[in-house]
Amino acid sequence: MTIALMKDLQGKVAVVTGGAGGIGRAMGRRFGAEGMKVLLADLLAEPLDEATRELAGEGIDVAGVVTDVTDHSSVESLAHEALQRFGAVHVVCNNAGTGGVSEGYMWEHDLADWRWGIDVNVLGVIHGIKAFVPILLEQGEGHVVNTCSGNGGFAPIARGATGGPAMAVYPMTKAAVLCLTESLYTHLEMTGTRVRAHALFPSGFLNTGIWESWRHRPKRYAATQDRRTPEPTLAEVVARFEAGGVRVEFTPLETVADQVIAGIRADRFWMMGPPAPTEEVVSRKAASILARSDPDYLVDVLSQTAGRGPDTEGGNQ
Ligand SMILES: NC(=O)c1ccc[n+]([C@@H]2O[C@H](COP(=O)([O-])OP(=O)(O)OC[C@H]3O[C@@H](n4cnc5c(N)ncnc54)[C@H](O)[C@@H]3O)[C@@H](O)[C@H]2O)c1
What band does 2 get if pLDDT is binned at 50, 70 and 90? very low
20-51 confidence digits (pLDDT tens): 999 999 999 999 999 999 999 999 999 999 99
Residue 309, pLDDT > 60, answer no
Cα dist from 244 to 280, 307, 310, whole Å? 20, 10, 11
39: Cα separation from own chain's centroid: 17
The DSSP secondary-structure symbol of 210 reads G
Q: What pLDDT, on the 0 to 100 scale, is given for residue 306?
A: 45
DSSP SS3 for 205: strand
Ligand 1 proximity of 96 Cβ (cutoff 6 Å): yes
Instruction: Report the alpha-carbon distance of residue 200 to residue 94 in Å, rounded.
Output: 10
- H helix intervals, 118-216: 124-139, 150-153, 169-191
Q: Is 217 exposed, middle or buried (0-12, 13-18, 19+ CB in 10 A)?
A: middle
Q: Could you list the active site residues?
A: 170
Q: Please give, one letter per residue, the 3-state secondary structure of 7-70.
A: CCCCCCEEEEECCCCHHHHHHHHHHHHCCCEEEEEECCHHHHHHHHHHHHHCCCCEEEEECCCC
Ligand 1 proximity of 202 Cβ (cutoff 6 Å): yes
Nearest CA to 210 out of 25, 5, 13 is that of 25
Q: List, in sequence order, every residue forming a beta bridge with 230; answer none if it has no partner.
A: none
**CA 164 – ligand 1 centroid, Å:** 24
Q: Is 162 exposed, middle or buried (0-12, 13-18, 19+ CB in 10 A)?
A: middle
Ligand 1 proximity of 97 Cβ (cutoff 6 Å): yes
251-270 confidence digits (pLDDT tens): 999 999 999 999 999 999 99
DSSP SS3 for 141: strand
**CA 176 – ligand 1 centroid, Å:** 16
Protein residue closest via CA to atom 25 of ligand 1: 18
**CA 223 – ligand 1 centroid, Å:** 20
**What are the counts of helices (DSSP H) followed by strands (DSSP E) for the chain?**
11, 7
The count of residues in the chain is 317
Domain boundaries, the chain: 13-300
From edge to edge, which strands make up the β-sheet containing 62-66?
Answer: 62-66, 37-42, 13-17, 91-94, 141-147, 194-201, 270-272
Nearest CA to 23 out of 144, 147, 122, 145 is that of 147
Ligand 1 proximity of 119 Cβ (cutoff 6 Å): no
Q: What percent of the chain has pLDDT over 90?
A: 79
Instruction: Report the alpha-carbon distance of residue 311 to residue 303 in Å, rounded.
Output: 12
Protein residue closest via CA to atom 40 of ligand 1: 97
236: Cα separation from own chain's centroid: 22
Instruction: Report the alpha-carbon distance of residue 165 to residue 162 in Å, rounded.
Output: 8
CA-based diameter of the chain, in Å?
56
**CA 3 – ligand 1 centroid, Å:** 31
Ligand 1 proximity of 74 Cβ (cutoff 6 Å): no
Ligand 1 proximity of 246 Cβ (cutoff 6 Å): no
Nearest CA to 50 out of 89, 19, 77, 27 is that of 19
**CA 192 – ligand 1 centroid, Å:** 32
Instruction: Report the alpha-carbon distance of residue 64 to residue 218 in Å, rounded.
Output: 20
Q: What pLDDT, on the 0 to 100 scale, is given for residue 22?
A: 98
The CATH architecture annotation of domain 13-300 reads 3-Layer(aba) Sandwich (3.40)
Protein residue closest via CA to atom 17 of ligand 1: 210
Residue 94, pLDDT > 70, answer yes
DSSP SS3 for 145: strand
Protein residue closest via CA to atom 36 of ligand 1: 18
Find the range with the poorest average confidence among 7-11, 88-92, 113-117, 206-210: 7-11
Nearest CA to 19 out of 103, 130, 107, 145 is that of 145
271-297 confidence digits (pLDDT tens): 998 877 778 889 999 999 999 999 988
* C-alpha gyration radius of the chain: 19
